[in-house]
Amino acid sequence: MPPSERAEKQAAAQQAVDILHEIATILNCHLDRRTLSICISMIENGVNPEALANVIKELRVLGQDPQQLDALVANYLASSRRR
């Protein structure tokens, strides 16, 4: 891919993230540009958008209670070691 084409694609992607960030801000989603970019990438790679939204909501709830979040992380780490 020529450098000019790559630069155009990067500019278009940045513009899309900027627009989506403005929408997320209006809707009070509390997602920064980096997090939003990660979510977009995950969806582009096949992650179910509704499932991703549910995970984000659950993490926010758990983030309010550090003990629950610690337990979730510990369970995840334990299950990933068993694989």
- Domain residue extents for the chain: 1-47, 48-82
- The pair of structure tokens assigned to 18 is 């900027």
pLDDT confidence bin for 82, thresholds 50/70/90:
low
CA distance 7 to 44: 20
pLDDT confidence bin for 75, thresholds 50/70/90:
confident
Q: Is a pLDDT exceeding 80 seen at residue 80? A: no
Burial 6-24 (b: 16+ CB within 10 A, else e): eeeeeeeeeeebeebbeeb
pLDDT digit string, tens, across residues 44-66: 999 999 988 888 888 888 777 77
Q: Is a pLDDT exceeding 70 seen at residue 11? A: yes
The amino acid that residue 13 corresponds to is A
Residues in the chain: 83
Query: What angle do helix axes 49-63 and 33-44 make, rounded to 10 degrees?
Result: 140
State the pTM of this model: 0.67
